[in-house]
């Protein structure tokens, strides 16, 4: 037995290498999913197809189940019923090492228990590929991810010394460096300024154009409308609507889901839907609540 296969056995990392799903194929699929957390049904009867070459935005109010759905896709939790498939197989059938070659996950908040530098953190994204032919891509993948997310300038700083936005971008760089065919991003824009929000969504588009499937949880409906190919609106643990943003983003649906009257206007130049809360200007009365 070689040293590598021995260490592979000890660390549980013998694995099959992935192929790239063709554009239009399902990179991941959720069928009849029901998730119960702490006795509460968080997701119920959710079916969703994540397509290669597409940016899919998950939107919805707080507590609607967006992050839970993303966790289910990431194989972080065991559903009560239903199946989650990644690259054609139920997630439970993949080993952690095999899943890591197929999907990368950006968590909502980034933490680190030891003072690794930014570059070391980004390089951790290459860990799943150790011992595969793709190991040769390590240096270019790390460098490209750092340039794309604009963290190269502080590559040598310890992660703990970064601002919130810099940490978020470093975490994103780590996910990009992993170079998987499925990216699951949980609120990647939450800690970011305007410019970097746009940058992150452009990166999503580029990855989709290159044939990857991108699932991104977003709070900003304007960003979702501008950058997503498809939007799934979650409401009370179910998918209330699923389709291209200009079809899904209706005033009635969004007002009901968010319990906040909204207006949807086409952008004067691009025609992309703009979603704004209904405000009657300063000094006037608060808008009537929907029944």
Rule CB under 8 A: say whether 23 interacts with another protein: no
99's tokens: 């899943």
* Residues paired with 6 in a beta bridge: none
Rule CB under 8 A: say whether 161 interacts with another protein: yes
* Residue 51, φ and ψ in degrees, nearest 5: -105, 140
**Residue 27 is inside which H or E element, if any?**
strand 26-37
Specify the residue, 178 or 189, whose C-beta has the smaller distance to another protein: 178
Interface residue with another protein among 101, 208, 224, 233 (CB under 8 A) is 101
CB 66 within 8 A of CB 184: no
Rule CB under 8 A: say whether 134 interacts with another protein: no
Interface residue with another protein among 24, 63, 90, 115 (CB under 8 A) is 115
**How many residues bind another protein, per CB under 8 A?**
63
Q: How far is CA 159 from CA 102, 139, 193, 232, in A?
A: 26, 19, 19, 34
Least distance between another protein and beta carbon 262 (Å) = 27
Interface residue with another protein among 111, 268, 270, 283 (CB under 8 A) is 111
155: helix, coil or strand? coil
CB 228 within 8 A of CB 249: no
Handedness of CA 61, 62, 67, 72 (dihedral sign): negative
Distance CA 286, CA 291 (A): 15
Rule CB under 8 A: say whether 90 interacts with another protein: no
Interface residue with another protein among 152, 190, 240, 253 (CB under 8 A) is 152
Binding residues (CB under 8 A) for another protein: these are: 7, 10-13, 15, 74, 76, 95-101, 103-105, 107, 110-117, 119-121, 124-125, 127-128, 130, 139-140, 142-144, 146-148, 150, 152-161, 178, 195-196, 199, 202-203, 206, 209-210
């Amino acid at each position: 037995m070689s040293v590598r296969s021995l260490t592979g056995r000890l660390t549980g990392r013998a694995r099959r290498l992935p192929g790239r799903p063709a554009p239009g194929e399902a990179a991941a699929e959720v069928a009849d999913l029901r998730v119960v957390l702490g006795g509460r049904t968080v997701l119920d009867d959710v079916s969703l197809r994540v397509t290669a070459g597409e940016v899919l935005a998950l939107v919805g109010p707080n507590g609607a189940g967006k992050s839970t759905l993303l966790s289910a896709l990431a194989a972080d939790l065991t559903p009560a019923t239903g199946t989650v498939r990644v690259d054609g197989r139920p997630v439970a059938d993949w080993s952690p090492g095999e899943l890591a070659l197929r999907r990368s996950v950006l968590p909502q908040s980034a933490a680190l228990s030891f003072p690794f530098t930014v570059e070391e953190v980004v390089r951790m994204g290459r860990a799943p590929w150790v011992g595969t032919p793709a190991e040769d891509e390590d240096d270019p993948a790390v460098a490209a991810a750092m340039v794309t997310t604009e963290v190269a300038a502080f590559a040598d700083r310890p992660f703990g010394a970064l601002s919130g936005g810099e940490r978020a971008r470093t975490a994103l760089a780590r996910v990009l460096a992993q170079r998987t065919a499925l990216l699951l991003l949980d609120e990647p824009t939450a800690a970011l300024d305007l410019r970097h929000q746009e940058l992150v969504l452009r990166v999503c588009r580029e990855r989709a154009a290159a044939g990857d499937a991108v699932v991104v949880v977003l709070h900003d409906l304007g960003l979702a409308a501008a950058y997503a190919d498809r939007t799934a609106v979650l409401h009370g643990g179910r998918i209330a609507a699923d389709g291209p943003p200009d079809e899904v983003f209706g005033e009635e649906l969004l007002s009901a889901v968010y319990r906040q009257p909204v207006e949807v206007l086409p952008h004067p130049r691009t025609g992309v839907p703009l979603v704004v809360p209904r405000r009657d200007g300063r000094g006037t009365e608060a808008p009537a609540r929907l029944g």
